């Protein structure tokens, strides 16, 4: 004996252990050992295989990387064609699909499975006796390319199946690049002067067609399995739902957000919900795939040309588009902040023409290196204002110089000053017309004083005619003055006077919010009103006392103190008071009562929440009765998600934890503090 059988056994044991931990990490998302421990075991296997190269097999975990660069890809013939799907662009088209299905199946009794339509590339994986022997792209459906070496680098693709696999199994699914990896990849490409990819799908396609598998290995693709070629006669799988369960048993990653529906009703809701929530996923989806669940019914319904008639892709409205950024311009906000925005070559996005998009702030433009003349990706999620995601860089194109921020206010030419860690520059002139206009707009808005009949054009005209220069002036308006404004008649003028009068009885928190103190949003205004009861108490409160209010941080406290140090603001307050506005809470102290929405719940926060600093969000949760914890576990009740969420989101999804956003939090606060 030369010890070979033992070595062989040892190698096999190590391989099984490594496969197990690979599966726990990349498929189940619940590792049991540290990366260092995994690496140690891996090196042990590598060493043993180095000593005994004759024992290396293609399914060894060491064979994921290391294949030699290729000169090209050989063609692969798909014996069972890889079909594509018909599209539905509306709920009506989904209903139409359902009618067709019931008529072809000869029954109304149809179950459906809905799956997220991952925006990646369809690939086919062939396993012989449980070992991955071939990985291919879809190509044109009948002929694709052999990209086995590249697909082997994908950690969520098992090199060897678990359970008792059939002698031959072809699994199909979507290879994709998760968003965090996509962002990192594009950043490093930009740093090294390479073209950036316009979207994760192109990046995934480029990766699969890499001739050097080492390059593919450096880009962490992932894979969701969604179908398999099975011989009905030999298999006891009778539905798509069971097929997905079988794929999981084989060791594949199957998307956790799949759903089985007894009828079409739930399908429509699923599509609608995911169209709204798509932005919370750590990968891109472009729709929902709706499939008839029963394989027998699928067979009966059949396919025409290259499309099955038992499945359809419900396509979402496009969320991103590519266009040219013509010019960067500056808006001056209510607080004097110089806010950059992009003037775009008009482009269609989600059914509307987009001509401009926000660039958030100076820091953002610098970080993303957005320049005039760039080709840019723009994004729209839900109803929010379109945003510029970033430039699409092509090698060899000559770019303009980075945008230079003005040294004076572009509206009033006053001096400007950088603040807030350089993210924003502010115009220091309190009389800046732009600031006056924005303050008035804010003051009359629905969430503030709720004064109907004062649109932006009217406000602008009032300022221009100098009949109004500050919010307090609104309450001295006479009907003669109003009648001088374009578009006003007797009736509309008296309506405006009436709504001005009515607004005087607005409660204190709304009035406080209407003042437009920097960092004092609706929620903060309510917190301040509750804690201090009157404007005078707030005015006289030292910084520490303001900061002691749960939900209020140092920046906000400074801004509040600063507001009351300015003489003009105090004069304005005086005038408003004279007009009868209430600057104190009336009646009983209102504290949130029982039925706090987050009573006894554990909440984890991730990402940047719109309208809240991290501290404010924590305090808001506390006010609502909840407890904030830092990591997601089975004990977490809710994940509070903002923009650019971290890995916590994926974890929460995996554990099926409830997900809420800033709007939801705001709603809860609104209810609890009413």
Kindly tell me which of 115 and 666 has the beta carbon lying closer to ligand IVH: 115
Q: Is 368 a catalytic residue?
A: no
| Minimum distance from residue 22 beta carbon to ligand IVH (Å) | 23
- Cα–Cα separations (whole angstroms), residue 518 to 427, 515, 521, 611: 13, 9, 8, 12
Q: Which of 11, 14, 27, 118 binds ligand IVH (CB under 6 A)?
A: 118
> Which among 452, 450, 461, 458 has a CA at the least distance from the CA of 497?
452
Burial 500-520 (b: 16+ CB within 10 A, else e): beebeebebbbbbbbbbbbbb
| Beta-ladder partners of 608 | 643
Q: Which two tokens stand for residue 597?
A: 């929405």
Q: How far apart are CA 454 and CA 476, in angstroms?
A: 15
Cβ-proximal residues to 135 (8 Å cutoff; 6+ apart), any chain: 123, 124, 125, 126, 146, 147, 148, 150, 151, 152, 157
Which letter does DSSP use for residue 534 in this model?
B
| Minimum distance from residue 205 beta carbon to ligand IVH (Å) | 11
Q: Which of 222, 243, 313, 325 binds ligand IVH (CB under 6 A)?
A: 313
Cβ atoms of 64 and 22 within 8 Å: the answer is no
Q: How far apart are CA 448 and CA 513, in angstroms?
A: 6
Q: Which of 98, 117, 278, 442 binds ligand IVH (CB under 6 A)?
A: 117
**Residue tagged active-site, from 75, 117, 441, 651:** 117
Q: Which of 29, 84, 102, 615 binds ligand IVH (CB under 6 A)?
A: 84
Contact between 174 and ligand IVH (CB under 6 A)? yes
| Minimum distance from residue 213 beta carbon to ligand IVH (Å) | 22
Contact between 115 and ligand IVH (CB under 6 A)? yes
| Minimum distance from residue 66 beta carbon to ligand IVH (Å) | 28
Q: Which of 243, 254, 301, 311 binds ligand IVH (CB under 6 A)?
A: 311
Near ligand IVH by CB under 6 A, which window of 114-122, 145-153, 316-324, 419-427?
A: 114-122
| Minimum distance from residue 200 beta carbon to ligand IVH (Å) | 13
Q: Which of 223, 226, 316, 475 binds ligand IVH (CB under 6 A)?
A: 226
What residue is closest to ligand IVH based on CB? 122
Using DSSP's 3-state secondary structure scheme, residue 674 falls into coil
Cβ-proximal residues to 578 (8 Å cutoff; 6+ apart), any chain: none
First vs last Cα of the chain: how many Å apart?
83
Kindly tell me which of 145 and 174 has the beta carbon lying closer to ligand IVH: 174
Alpha helices in 192-263 (DSSP H): 200-208, 213-217, 240-249
| Minimum distance from residue 80 beta carbon to ligand IVH (Å) | 10
Binding mask 508-537 for ligand IVH (x = CB under 6 A): ------------------------------
| Minimum distance from residue 189 beta carbon to ligand IVH (Å) | 25
Contact between 122 and ligand IVH (CB under 6 A)? yes
Interhelix angle for 456-464 vs 433-444, to 10°? 140
Kindly tell me which of 113 and 535 has the beta carbon lying closer to ligand IVH: 113
Q: How many residues bind ligand IVH (CB under 6 A)?
A: 15
Q: How far apart are CA 506 and CA 503, in angstroms?
A: 5
Contact between 278 and ligand IVH (CB under 6 A)? no
Q: Which of 308, 433, 453, 521 binds ligand IVH (CB under 6 A)?
A: 308
| Interaction site with ligand IVH (CB under 6 A) | 83-85, 115, 117-118, 122, 138, 174, 226-227, 289, 308, 311, 313
- Active site amino acids: 117
């Amino acid at each position: 004996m030369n010890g070979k059988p033992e070595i062989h056994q040892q190698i096999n044991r190590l391989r099984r252990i490594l496969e197990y931990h690979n599966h726990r990490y990349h498929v189940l998302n619940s590792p049991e050992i540290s990366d260092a421990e995994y690496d140690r075991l891996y090196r042990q296997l590598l060493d043993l295989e180095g000593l005994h190269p004759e024992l290396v097999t293609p399914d060894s975990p060491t064979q994921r990387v290391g294949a030699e660069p290729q000169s090209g890809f050989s063609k692969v013939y798909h014996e069972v064609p890889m079909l594509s799907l018909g599209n539905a662009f509306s709920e009506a088209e989904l209903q139409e699909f359902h009618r067709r299905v019931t008529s072809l199946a000869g029954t109304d009794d149809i179950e459906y499975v809905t799956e997220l339509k991952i925006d990646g590339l369809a690939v086919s994986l062939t396993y012989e006796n449980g070992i991955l022997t071939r990985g291919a792209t879809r190509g044109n459906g009948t002929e694709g390319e052999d990209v086995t070496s590249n697909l082997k680098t994908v950690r969520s693709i098992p090199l060897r199946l678990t359970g008792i696999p059939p002698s031959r199994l072809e699994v199909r699914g979507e290879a994709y690049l998760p968003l965090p990896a996509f962002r990192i990849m594009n950043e490093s490409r930009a740093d090294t002067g390479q073209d950036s990819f316009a979207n994760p799908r192109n990046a995934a396609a480029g990766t699969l067609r890499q001739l050097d598998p080492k390059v593919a290995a450096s880009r962490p693709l992932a894979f969701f399995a969604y179908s398999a070629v099975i011989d009905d006669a030999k298999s006891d799988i009778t539905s798509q739902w069971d097929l997905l369960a079988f794929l999981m048993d084989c060791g594949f990653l199957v998307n956790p957000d799949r759903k089985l529906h007894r009828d079409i009703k739930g399908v429509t809701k699923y599509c609608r919900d995911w169209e709204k929530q798509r932005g919370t996923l750590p990968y891109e989806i472009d729709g929902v795939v709706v499939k008839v669940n029963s394989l027998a019914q699928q067979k009966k319904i059949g396919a025409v040309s290259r499309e099955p008639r038992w499945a359809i892709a419900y396509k979402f409205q496009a969320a991103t588009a590519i266009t040219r950024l013509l010019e960067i311009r500056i808006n001056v906000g209510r607080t004097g902040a110089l806010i950059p925005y992009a003037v775009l070559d008009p482009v269609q996005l989600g059914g509307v023409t987009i001509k401009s998009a926000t660039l958030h702030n100076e820091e953002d433009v610098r970080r993303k290196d957005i320049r005039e003349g760039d080709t840019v990706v723009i994004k729209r999620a839900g109803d929010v204002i379109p945003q510029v995601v970033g430039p699409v860089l092509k090698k060899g194109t000559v770019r303009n110089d980075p945008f230079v921020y003005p040294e004076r206010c572009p509206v009033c030419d006053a001096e400007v000053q950088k603040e807030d860690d350089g993210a924003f520059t502010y115009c220091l002139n309190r009389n800046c017309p732009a600031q006056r206009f924005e303050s008035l707009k804010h003051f009359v808005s629905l969430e503030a004083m709720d004064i109907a009949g004062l649109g932006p054009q009217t406000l602008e005209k009032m300022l221009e005619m100098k009949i109004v220069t500050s919010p307090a002036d609104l309450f001295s308006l006479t009907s003669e003055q109003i009648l001088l404004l374009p578009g006003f008649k007797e009736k509309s003028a008296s309506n405006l006077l009436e709504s001005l009068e009515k607004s005087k009885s607005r409660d204190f928190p709304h009035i406080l919010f209407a003042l437009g103190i920097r960092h004092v949003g609706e929620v903060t205004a309510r917190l301040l009103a509750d804690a201090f009861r009157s404007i005078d108490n707030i005015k006289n409160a030292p910084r520490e006392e303001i900061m002691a209010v749960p939900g209020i941080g140092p920046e906000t406290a400074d801004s509040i103190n600063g507001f009351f140090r300015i003489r003009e603001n105090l004069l304005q307050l005086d005038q408003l008071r004279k007009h009868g506005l209430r600057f104190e809470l009336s009646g009983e102290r209102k504290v949130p009562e029982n039925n706090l929405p987050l009573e006894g719940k554990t909440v984890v926060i991730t990402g940047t929440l719109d309208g809240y600093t991290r501290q404010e969000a924590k305090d808001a949760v506390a006010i609502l009765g909840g407890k904030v914890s830092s990591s997601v576990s089975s004990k977490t009740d809710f994940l509070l998600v903002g923009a650019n969420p971290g890995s916590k989101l994926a974890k929460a999804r995996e554990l099926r934890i409830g997900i809420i956003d800033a709007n939801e939090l705001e709603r809860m606060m609104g209810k609890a503090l009413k």
